[in-house]
Amino acid sequence: MTRFLFSLILLVSISVSAQQLKSPSEFLGYELGTQFTRHHEVVDYYEYLADSEPDRVKLTVYGKTNERRPLILAYVSSAENLSNIETIRQEHLKNTEGSGNSSKAIVWLSYNVHGNESVSTEASMKTIYELLTSKSNYLENTVVIMDPCINPDGRDRYSNWYNQYKNTPFQVDPNSKEHHEGWWSGRSNHYMFDLNRDWAWLTQVESQQRLKMFNQWLPHVHVDFHEQGVNSPYYFAPAAEPYHEVITDFQRDFQATIGKNHAKYFDANGWFYFTKEVFDLLYPSYGDTYPMYNGAIGMTYEQGGSGRAGLGIITAIGDTLTLKDRIAHHHTTGLSTIEVSSQNAEELNQEFRKFYQNKDFKYKSYVLKGDKDKLEALKSLLDKHEIEYGTLNSGSFKGHNYRTGRSGSMSINNNGMVVSTNQLKGTMVKVLFEPNAKLSDSLTYDITAWSLPYAYGLDAIALTSTVSGSSTSANDVVQSVTVGAPTNTYAYLFDWNSMKDARFLAALLNEGIRVRKADHPFNLEGKSFDRGTLIITKGDNENKKDFVQSLLSIARKHQKNITPVSTGYVDSGKDFGSSYIQMITKPKIAVLSGGPTSTLRFGEIWHFFEQQLHYPLTVLDDEYADRVDLDEYNILILPDGRYGNHFSEDQLSKLKSWVRSGGKVIAMGGSIDALDGDKGFGITKKKSEKDSSNNAPQPYKDWEREQMKGAITGAIFKTKVDNSNPLAYGYGSEYFSLKLGSSAYEYLDGGNAVYLEQDTNPFSGFAGIKAQERISKTLIYGVENYGRGQVIYMVDNPLFRGFWENGKLFFANALFMVD
C-alpha cells in the first residue's frame, strides 16, 4: 500500500510538472519547425529546462568553439537516478573491468555535427521535452546524455544565412536562393573541418573537448543525427557493409533490433526509409564507428533535407518536404532508440562487459621507433584517447614489418615505444594501428587506410605476442634544452626533421631572427649535420637586440636542443659562407579561397597556419584575387578543388610572369589541372590507356563495382624520395603516402622529390586494378624551376584532415626550404 501511494504521488508530481513545463514552441514564441532556432536560443531552452527540472535535468558546459559559442551536454534521467549520477557512472565503468553492478542503460544522442544539417537540433528540443513529460517512464532505468549541437559555429552560420536570404513566407521552389548556400556552407566548423571525420584524429577543439566527456561515460548506445539529399528517404541502422571485423555479433544484431522498432513507427505513419545501404562501419573517425570501437551500439541516422531543404522544398517526385516533417522523423527515431535501450538495459550491460573482456586479436603489440618528435606527437594523440603505451630502450622484435609489408625484425637501441591491445582501449588500438584493415566490401563511404605508424612516419613491427614497456605519457617527457652558450659561439645549429622544427623556425622568423639552411650535409666539431639543418649566426643577427636571449627563449619554449659551434669552417661539406648555406627568406604567404577551391582543403591549410605552424597567412578570395598585386607576396597557395579552365589566359599570363620574377606557387590536387603543360608549365597529366581486354558491354547492375576498378578509396602507397631535393629535407629514402584518388601526372623533367615507381600495390587500403596501372611511374611531390621562381606540385594531400602527421614537413619545406 505504501509503495502504491508513493508511485501515485510520484505520478501526480510528474503530471503537474509536465503541465507547467513549457514546450519548445511555447518557450521560443513560435511553432517549432517554422523558424531555424539560433544556437543561443537553443542553449536558453536547455537552461530553462535545467532550472525548471533540476531533479531530472543537469546541464554541463564542456567547452567552447573557436567562435566562443558554448558546447553543452544535458543529462536527463529520473530524479532518483540523477541524484546518484556519479555512482551510476562509476558502476557502469566498472563493467569495463569485469566488475560492477550496473543496471542502467546509458544512451548518448549527438545532434548537428554538420551545421547545415540543422533539423536535428530542433528535434533535440522536442525529444528532451517529451522525455520529461509523456515519455518519462523511459528514464526510470536509463540515463540519456544529449549534445544538442556539436557544431554551433556551423549551425549559426547556416541559420543566419538562411534567415537572411529566405522568402517570406518561405519558398518551396528548389531554384530559389534560400536553397543554395554559397561557397562556405554551414556544414563545417570554423576551420572548415568536417567534425564527423575527426573523432579519431582530434584536430579540432570541438572534438578534443567532447572526447574528454565521452571517455568519462563510454555509453551503451550512441546516435549521430544527420541529413542527406532532399530526395532521399530516411536512413537508419542496420548499417551497410563493410563492417570492421572487431564489431561484435551483438553490436550487429542490436542495430537490427533498434531498426525494426524504428520501422514500426515509420510504417504506422507511412514514412519511407531504407537500411543496410551506403553508410558502412569501417573508417574509425565517425560518430558511429568510434563509439562502436569503444563498446557502444554506434549508429548514424540520416534524414533527407540538409542545407538545401530550408523550411520547405519540393522534392524530385513533387512532394513538399518541410522542416516540421524532418523534425518528426528525427524525434521519432530518437525516442525509439531510448525506448529500445530502456527495454534492453540488462542485456546492454551484459554485452558491454563482454566487449571489454580480453580479445583474441592476431597482433597483441605494436612496437615503434623513429624521430623523437614524431613519437611525442603520436603519444600526445594517444593521451587524448586515454590509450596506454610504454617506452622501450632496447630489444629486437620480430613480426609484421610495416616498412616492407611482410615478416621481418627491428631492433631498438633507444627511444622506442610499445602499444598493446591488452588494455581498456585495446579494440581501439587494433583499429588504429593494424597494418591493413580487413575489407568485406570494396564499396565504402570513406578512406580504407589510416594506420598510425604510416601516418606518423614511424618504423613499426606488429607482434603476435605481448610486449611490456615502462609506462609513460607525453606530458612526462621534458627534453633538456641548452640555456646558455660559450662566449666564443659563431653559430647555433638546430636539426630539421619534424613539424616541431617547423614551428620553431616559424617562431624565429616571426621574432625577426635571421636563419640560414644547409643545402649540403656537413661535419663540424665531431658531429654530422643533414640537409635542412638550421644555422643561426651571430653575424647575421648582430643588429638584433638581445639576439641570444631571444633565441634561447624560443628554443626553450619549443624544447629544441641547441648545438653551438665556434667556427663556420667545416670539417667536411660546405663552409657557412658557401652558396650551399642560403638565408631563409621570411615569406609573405597568400592562399586562394572561394571559387574553384574546396572548402575542406582550404580549411586544412588555414588550420595548418593558425593552429599548427603559427605563421601569418593572407586569404585572397577568388572574387577579387586577380585585382591583387601579387608582388606583395612571395608565395601563393592554390588549394585542391575543381579548377578546370578557371584561370583566363590573362590571369595565367600574370601568374607566369610573377613566378618568372621569383614568386612561388604551391599547387595542390585539382589546382594542378589549371597549370598543366598546355598552359605553359612543365607538368603533364598522364593519359589513360584504353582498356581493350574486354570490349563487351557491362551489365547495368555491375556498373558501380566495375567503376571501382579505377578507384582508390584512401589507400597507402610506398613511394621513393629524393631527399637531396629541398622539398624532401628531413625525410629518408621512402615515404608512405595516403592517396585519395587516381589522378596521375608524369614525372617532371627534373625536381621529382617524391614519386611512385612501377610497383603500385597499396600497402594498406583499397585500390582498383585499373587505378594501380594508372598511377604507375607518376609524381607525388615535385618542384619545377620557372625563371627565378618555382612551382611546387603536390598531387597527394600532405595535410589531409590534419592527421597525416608525416606529410606536414613536405608542406613546411615548400614554404621555407625550396628557393
> In this predicted structure, what is the pLDDT of residue 698?
74
> In this predicted structure, what is the pLDDT of residue 194?
98
Q: SS3 helix, strand, coil % of the chain, rounded to 5?
A: 35, 20, 40
The pTM score is 0.95
> In this predicted structure, what is the pLDDT of residue 3?
46
**Closest-CA residue to 450 (of 765, 761, 203, 775):** 765
Handedness of CA 371, 763, 779, 743 (dihedral sign): negative
Report the C-alpha gap between 797 and 804 in whole angstroms.
Answer: 9
Handedness of CA 307, 312, 314, 315 (dihedral sign): positive
Beta strand ranges found along 111-220 (DSSP E): 142-147
Report the C-alpha gap between 810 and 799 in whole angstroms.
Answer: 9
User: HSE of 638 in the Cβ direction (CA atoms, 13 Å)?
Assistant: 26
SS (H, E, C) 5-46: HHHHHHHHHHHHHHHHCCCHHHHHCCCCCCCCCCHHHHHHHH
> In this predicted structure, what is the pLDDT of residue 5?
47
Q: What are phi and psi of 430, to 5 degrees?
A: -60, -45
**Closest-CA residue to 286 (of 273, 270, 300):** 300
Helix (H) or strand (E) holding 365: strand 365-369
Question: Which residues on adjacent β-strands are paired with residue 666?
Answer: 637, 792
Report the C-alpha gap between 736 and 800 in whole angstroms.
Answer: 14
Q: Is the separation of the CB atoms in 179 and 202 below 8 Å?
A: no
Report the C-alpha gap between 735 and 629 in whole angstroms.
Answer: 37
Angle between helices 499-510 and 547-557 (to 10 degrees): 150
Instruction: Give the residue ranges of the chain where pLDDT is below 70.
Output: 1-19, 473-485, 690-696
- Going by DSSP bridges, is the β-strand pair 522-524/527-529 parallel, antiparallel, or unpaired? antiparallel
DSSP letter, residue 669: G
Report the C-alpha gap between 692 and 88 in whole angstroms.
Answer: 65
Report the C-alpha gap between 88 and 69 in whole angstroms.
Answer: 30
- The Cα-based distances of 627 to 9, 104, 641, 650 in angstroms read 74, 63, 21, 12
Angle between helices 372-385 and 499-510 (to 10 degrees): 100
DSSP letter, residue 699: P
Which string of DSSP letters, residue by residue, matches 709-720? GG-B-SEEEEEE
Report the C-alpha gap between 71 and 43 in whole angstroms.
Answer: 9
**Closest-CA residue to 380 (of 559, 558, 201):** 201
Kindly report the number of other CB atoms within 10 A of residue 551's CB atom.
23
> In this predicted structure, what is the pLDDT of residue 222?
98
> In this predicted structure, what is the pLDDT of residue 57?
98
> In this predicted structure, what is the pLDDT of residue 481?
55
Q: Is the separation of the CB atoms in 633 and 618 below 8 Å?
A: yes
C-alpha cell, 543: 643588429
Kindly report the number of other CB atoms within 10 A of residue 263's CB atom.
15
Give the position of cell 578546370.
644
C-alpha cell, 2: 505504501
> In this predicted structure, what is the pLDDT of residue 694?
58
Q: Is the separation of the CB atoms in 521 and 574 below 8 Å?
A: no
Kindly report the number of other CB atoms within 10 A of residue 86's CB atom.
8
**Closest-CA residue to 738 (of 793, 813, 808):** 808
**Closest-CA residue to 208 (of 384, 82, 88, 454):** 384
* pLDDT, tens digit, 9 for 90 and up, residues 143-188: 999 999 999 999 999 999 999 999 999 999 999 999 999 999 999 9
DSSP letter, residue 572: B
Q: What are phi and psi of 274, to 5 degrees?
A: -145, 160
> In this predicted structure, what is the pLDDT of residue 483?
45
**Closest-CA residue to 300 (of 353, 253, 259, 341):** 259
